Chain A
Amino acid sequence: MEQIIANGLYLGAQYALIALGLTLIFSLMNVLNFAHGQMYVFGGFVCYTVVAQLGMPFILGLVASALVLGVMGALIERFLFRPVIRRSKRDESTMLLAAGIAFFLDAVILLLFGEKQRGVPKIVNGVFNWDFRLIMPYDRILIGVLAIALIAGFILFMQYSKAGRAMRALAQDRMAAQLMGVDVDRYSMIGFAMGAMLAGLVGALLVTITGVNLGMGGPTSVKAFLMIMIGGASVISGAIAGGFILGMMESVGLSVLSSYGDVTYLVIFATLMVFLAIRPQGLMGKPWG
């Protein structure tokens, strides 16, 4: 039982971090970022290149992933999303752009890093063992703690910094924020860069444990969508709650339902659809987002 909860928390911390980036982008620009999973994979590969190929310490890999993805996010917002949002008749057009970027990143990853599964050597050795009731490798604990620290840092940033306040204002009401003198374009760009950076950071964290490969992007995006649907799109607390709930459900499901075959996700999806039929805006979302 303790094992299941610990696994759920560990998974949930990473999921929440992925969902945070997605929800940040969604709340600021009303863009469903299909490329989020690809950004995550890209971050993992950047970290792999820095750590395993160049032989730098892990912390540098983390920083490099964050920087590369942050710059990439800013450029994507400035040169792709901004002009399309301005000129298109319907909001949904951004989805094609996002899907196109997802394909594009897939292609870039394929050309730059190849299609092999990549991982970096363990950063900490040893296994935490509590009387065989709870077994957890130290590196997983470290990654989980780092992820939670990043989430806390993100919340503090959004709550107390000037940029965070501006972005929250934007998410609430774009027009009103603009009238109050918030530089909408600038903060959209910063927000997109931060969202991409978060995706890259999770990728860099996870490359030490599960490794990354090209095919992980799409499924990760779908999972991230699930999380922000559970918690409610465009709400930060919702993304965190959604991440932890999905992590916990996955962990419980994998151990309880394992005797029925591979049905965990089927049960999760079915539950989610019933849940959304009753509460369409998710746990904490505003009605009609």
Chain B
Amino acid sequence: MDTQTQAYSGRAPDRTRRSTRQVLGVVLFLAFVFGVVPAFIAATGRWDFYYTLTSVALLSVAAAGVWLTFYIGRINIGQGAYALAGGYVSTILMTQGGVSFWLTLPLAGLFCALISVLIGWPILRLRGVYFAMVTLVLTEVARLTALALPITNGAKGITSIPLPGGVSVMGVTLIPDFATLENPRQAFYFVAVTVMVLVYLVLWRIVNSRLGHLCRSLQQNEELSASIGVNTAWLRVLAYAISSFFGGVAGAMFVSISQSIYPSSFVVQDSVNFMLYCFVGGLGYVFGPMLGTLLLYFGWDLLQVAGQYQLLIYSGTMIALMLVLPNGVLSLFDRKGAGK
């Protein structure tokens, strides 16, 4: 009895300690990406890192979506399709509808979520490799559709997309016009990182909510969770829609940075890469895809010095990583907390 009360009373401070540690971690992370990284770049003069890191941030947003579908036990190799769709929606709204970029960003996400519900409803009944292969095919479908439709301008794509405009509320400029900035790269970096932080906060919140627990039950045993009254069909469509929303937003941002979009902007290779980012980081960890994206994308960039051996070293490292840490890089930190 005595030990039991001790155990219970010991729980509350433990939890607060843990949440303070989490808050501290988030603050440190924010300080790092918004303060240390720009300072480092300014000090070293490697302005090209901005582009790389912006790409990392955006790719990790799309990878977050893939991770969420992994979380309900589905292998999603179709995120490229939604990134492409999001990019096209944003571009067409901007160039033909004259809509502000900042408005097209959520609209692109919503559009992707909507089509993902239509597509996901039938195909989410598939499992395992079947679902993986259908989503892989979906990326090809998106590319071929973009080639065939008149509005997307076929293989020529859409180029010279305007930079994001300014946003001001009642005379106060919230976001300056990107075209007037002397360093749009840095601005894009800040926007991308903000989007990334928001997305991962949302993801973390989802995973640690009732919805997250339900998703986990789907991952472990779908029949069992359906038998105790979980609406599995609705849940997996919801998770897939959120995932596609992330994909669309990332795609739209990416396009506005490169100021051009082609049917080959996101191909099967990209979809496979999103999946790999999740694997490398670790499927069991919310921040796995972020770390995986950073390692793989940045690593690939750094390996450029290896010249023709770049791909060999890159893939060799990936295989070695798989042999040493088959459950992702973040499983390294698991051993300390193995007792729980």
A184 to chain B, nearest CB (A): 20
Interface assignment of B203: CB less than 8 Å from any CB of chain A: no
- A102 to B275 Cα, complex, angstroms: 14
Binds A, one of B45-53, B96-104, B132-140: B132-140
Interface assignment of A95: CB less than 8 Å from any CB of chain B: yes
Chain B residue numbers with a CB within 8 Å of A103 are 311, 314-315, 318
- CB-based contact B319/A87 at 8 Å: no
Interface assignment of A32: CB less than 8 Å from any CB of chain B: yes
B116 to chain A, nearest CB (A): 13
Interface assignment of A240: CB less than 8 Å from any CB of chain B: no
- CB-based contact B123/A96 at 8 Å: no
- CB-based contact B322/A276 at 8 Å: no
- A270 to B126 Cα, complex, angstroms: 16
Chain A residue numbers with a CB within 8 Å of B283 are 90, 92-93
- A111 to B315 Cα, complex, angstroms: 14
Interface assignment of B128: CB less than 8 Å from any CB of chain A: yes
Interface assignment of B337: CB less than 8 Å from any CB of chain A: no
User: Nearest residue in A to B277 (C-beta to C-beta)?
Assistant: A96
Interface assignment of B148: CB less than 8 Å from any CB of chain A: yes
Interface assignment of B245: CB less than 8 Å from any CB of chain A: no
A92-B283, A96-B276, A277-B122 as given contacts; A263 in contact with B148, CB under 8 Å: yes
B276 to chain A, nearest CB (A): 6
Chain B residue numbers with a CB within 8 Å of A89 are 284, 326-327
- CB-based contact A84/B322 at 8 Å: yes
A96-B280, A218-B268, A226-B137 as given contacts; A107 in contact with B323, CB under 8 Å: no
Interface of B is mostly: helix
Interface assignment of B40: CB less than 8 Å from any CB of chain A: no
Contact of A222 (CB < 8 Å), options: B129, B140, B308, B323: B140
User: Nearest residue in A to B127 (C-beta to C-beta)?
Assistant: A288
Interface assignment of B141: CB less than 8 Å from any CB of chain A: yes
User: Nearest residue in B to A287 (C-beta to C-beta)?
Assistant: B127
Interface assignment of A83: CB less than 8 Å from any CB of chain B: yes
- CB-based contact B327/A93 at 8 Å: yes
Contact of A80 (CB < 8 Å), options: B269, B314, B319: B319
Interface assignment of A211: CB less than 8 Å from any CB of chain B: no
Chain A residue numbers with a CB within 8 Å of B269 are 218
Interface assignment of B82: CB less than 8 Å from any CB of chain A: no
Interface assignment of B279: CB less than 8 Å from any CB of chain A: yes
- CB-based contact A265/B140 at 8 Å: yes
Contact of B268 (CB < 8 Å), options: A222, A270, A280: A222
- CB-based contact B75/A80 at 8 Å: no
- CB-based contact A92/B75 at 8 Å: yes
- CB-based contact B125/A280 at 8 Å: yes
- A263 to B284 Cα, complex, angstroms: 40
- CB-based contact A88/B276 at 8 Å: no
Chain B residue numbers with a CB within 8 Å of A110 are 308, 311
In B274-317, the 8 Å CB interface with A consists of 275-276, 279-280, 283-284, 308-309, 311-312, 314-316
Chain B residue numbers with a CB within 8 Å of A108 are 312
A97-B322, A100-B315, A277-B122 as given contacts; A262 in contact with B140, CB under 8 Å: no
Interface assignment of B231: CB less than 8 Å from any CB of chain A: no
- A222 to B141 Cα, complex, angstroms: 12
A273 to chain B, nearest CB (A): 6
Interface assignment of A34: CB less than 8 Å from any CB of chain B: yes
Interface assignment of B234: CB less than 8 Å from any CB of chain A: no
Interface assignment of B209: CB less than 8 Å from any CB of chain A: no
- A108 to B311 Cα, complex, angstroms: 9
Chain B residue numbers with a CB within 8 Å of A225 are 133, 136-137
- A265 to B272 Cα, complex, angstroms: 20
Interface assignment of B235: CB less than 8 Å from any CB of chain A: no
Chain B residue numbers with a CB within 8 Å of A281 are 130
Chain B residue numbers with a CB within 8 Å of A30 are 129
User: Nearest residue in B to A34 (C-beta to C-beta)?
Assistant: B272
Chain B residue numbers with a CB within 8 Å of A288 are 127-128
A→B interface (CB under 8 Å) = 26, 30, 32, 34, 80, 83-84, 87-93, 95-97, 99-104, 106-108, 110-111, 218, 222, 225-226, 228-229, 233, 261-263, 265-266, 269-270, 272-273, 276-277, 280-282, 288-289
Q: Please give 8 more A-B residue pairs, beta carbons under 8 A apart, in addition to A84-B326, A273-B137.
A: A26-B129, A103-B315, A107-B309, A111-B309, A261-B148, A272-B137, A273-B141, A288-B128
A-B contact pairs, 26 of them (CB 8 A): A30-B129, A83-B323, A84-B326, A88-B326, A88-B327, A89-B284, A89-B327, A90-B283, A95-B279, A96-B280, A99-B272, A100-B276, A100-B318, A101-B319, A104-B318, A107-B311, A111-B309, A218-B268, A226-B137, A265-B140, A266-B145, A266-B148, A269-B137, A269-B141, A276-B123, A277-B125
B→A interface (CB under 8 Å) = 70, 75, 119, 122-123, 125-130, 132-134, 136-138, 140-141, 144-145, 147-148, 268-269, 272, 275-276, 279-280, 283-284, 308-309, 311-312, 314-316, 318-319, 322-323, 326-327
A-B pairs with the 3 shortest C-beta distances?
A103-B315, A277-B122, A88-B326
